[in-house]
Structure 1
Amino acid sequence: MDRTTPSGAALVRRRVRYYYLLVTLIVAIFAAETTMHFTHYTWSRWIVTITAAIAVCLAVGSGLRAGDLGVAPDTYVRGTRWAAVIMVVVILGVGIALAIPPLRSLFHNDAYRSLPWALFSAFVLIPFQTVIPEELLFRGIITGALLRRHSVPVSIAVQAVLFGLWHVVSSIGLSDGNEGIGAVLGTGVAGQALGVVGAVAFTGAAGAVFGWLRVKTGSLLPCLALHWAANAAGAVAAALAWRLG
């Protein structure tokens, strides 16, 4: 047998180590998300960002390449084209929804009553605390690692489920903090539970779309664009919705 060819036992050990590392990463990022939402320190708001930066360094050190993470230079042009179209479509869609009075109340998010704060969030906090870290973690590292061992459908499905579960903590109290959603689901325990289930289902479906974009284009840029446009446009739309009554 060629000494350069790994034995069956060596391949099994390598695969087991791979899964241990992936599980450790998932536990770490979920712990970071929980810490961020249940503490009120300035530094804890950046803990997911810091975790993502460390995770990228470890992923590269473990053998993942730029192509695995969706940031290979040869994907920039294609990724930029998709990203530009996505941003225009999403922002126009949010603008149209905001212009329709029955839909406007769905944007009434208490976190963005102030327009200056919504703009600061849209261009600073949302990109650096949410969009970039989450896309690097889920569509970059986790998807890239899964694609090395599994089929495309399995890889997209697994990261989508994880992305949906990632939003359990952040969706607690969703119906209380959003007037429009609270009016639909209610604000009691049942309403809060429905808010969590709905948020997990919605973000899980969004994760599947993000994953498809990542595989389709080979680039992380369209995922970043869609994630940012939806969140940032939603924040600004919320502030405008309050002003429009």
Structure 2
Amino acid sequence: MTLAVGEGAVRARRPAMIATGVVVAALVGVNLAQHVLGGAVWLGPVGAAALLVFARLSGLSWSQLGLHRDRLRSGARWGLGAIALVAVVYLIGVVLPLTRTAFLDARYHLGVPGALVSAFVLIPVSTILLEEVAFRSVLWGMLARHAKMSRVLLTSSALFGLWHILPSLHFASSNRGVGDAMRGTGTAAGVLVIVGIVAFTALGGVVAGELRRRSGSVLASAGMHWATNSLGVLFGLLAWRLAG
């Protein structure tokens, strides 16, 4: 009897597990497409919309997706707090010469107009929208139907870390601080950089996921995500000015 009950529970969860597998497979495809297409801006909104349509057709509610309007105020409060905290950390990092080189990223060696467009348009549309919908909304909601919350948090965060393998391949060549640290160290150091980036972004996924869990809204994790990425561009602009 116990075995039958257990088998019944597995069968009941099977459609949700299959839907989760479809989402993970879709994310692998999108990640490869981003790498091949060179980060096409349109891919973010299109991918996010497709994931949300699939999630709704699979039975997830707006609340399960972290997008219900009743949680917007909570999400905004947590998100603004995260933005303020990241801004303070970045300011300290740019002011101190020892850590300033970490902000000298060639990809964002831009003038003021270019930095503003990147921070407030390109990054939110092409990166944050897709990744927040993918990992803290759709994947989160899918996993929550057949896994404990601790597993939802760890699984979504681990996959978020792995999502950054391809973007990390050329990180050392674009970031002066990392490039200086790796100079003359060989290919092993390049592997360590990739592992470090995956681990760091996975940890960031844990923090973002906890913000999403506590607030009940993806807006909270999106606020933190915007701060770490877009404020990095804006403070990078300051770092390049200070570096002369």
Q: TM-score, normalised by structure 1?
A: 0.90
Q: Deviations over 1:10-46 (max 9, x none)?
A: 7644532322221121111221122212334x8x343
Find 2:96's aligned residue among 82, 100, 104: 100
Residues 30/45 of structure 1: CA separation in 2 closer, same or farther (3 Å cut): farther
Q: Residues of 2 paired with 1:225 and 1:77: CA distance? A: 13
Q: Name the counterpart of 1:86.
A: 82
Identify which of 145, 170, 173 aligns with 2:170: 173
- The reply on whether 1:217 has 2:210 as its aligned counterpart is no
Please list every run of at least 4 consecutive aligned residues from structure 1 whose deviation after the TM superposition is greater than 6 angstroms: 7-10
Task: Give the alignment's Cα RMSD to 1 decimal.
Answer: 1.9
In structure 1, distance between residues paired with 2:151 and 2:171 = 30
Tell me whether 196-205 or 145-154 shows the greater mean CA deviation: 145-154
Partner of 2:124: 127
Return the letter of the residue paired with 2:110: S
Does the CA-based 8 Å contact 2:208-2:221 persist in structure 1? yes
Question: Secondary structure in 1 aligned to 2:64?
Answer: helix
Say if 1:214 and 1:222, in contact at 8 Å, map to a contact too: yes
- Are residues 1:235 and 2:228 paired? no
Q: Share of identical aligned residues, percent?
A: 34
Structure 2 residue matching 1:67: 3-state secondary structure: coil
Letter of the 1:205 partner, please give it.
Answer: L
Which residue identity does 1:112 align to in structure 2?
Y
Q: What letter is aligned with 1:70? A: G
Whose RCO is larger (CA < 8 A, sep 6+)? 2
* Change beyond 3 A, Cα 1:174–1:15: same
Q: Once structures 1 and 2 are overlaid, which stretch shifts more, 80-89 or 197-206?
A: 80-89
1:149 matched to which residue of 2? 146
Write the letter of the residue equivalent to 2:17.
Y
Are positions 1:111 and 2:107 aligned together?
A: yes
CA apart distance, 1:155: 0.7
CA shift for structure 1 position 98? 0.7
Give, in whole Å, the separation in 2 of the partners of 1:45 and 1:34.
15
Tell me: CA distance 1:75–1:110, structure 2 relative to 1, closer, same or farther (3 Å). same
Unpaired runs of at least 5, structure 2 = none
Distance in 2 of aligned mates of 1:112 and 1:215: 32
Counterpart Cα distance in 1 of 2:99 and 2:211: 28
Q: CA deviation at 1:48?
A: 3.6
CA offsets 1:56-85 (integer angstroms, 9 cap, x no match): 011011110011111112211221111222
Equivalent pairs, count: 237
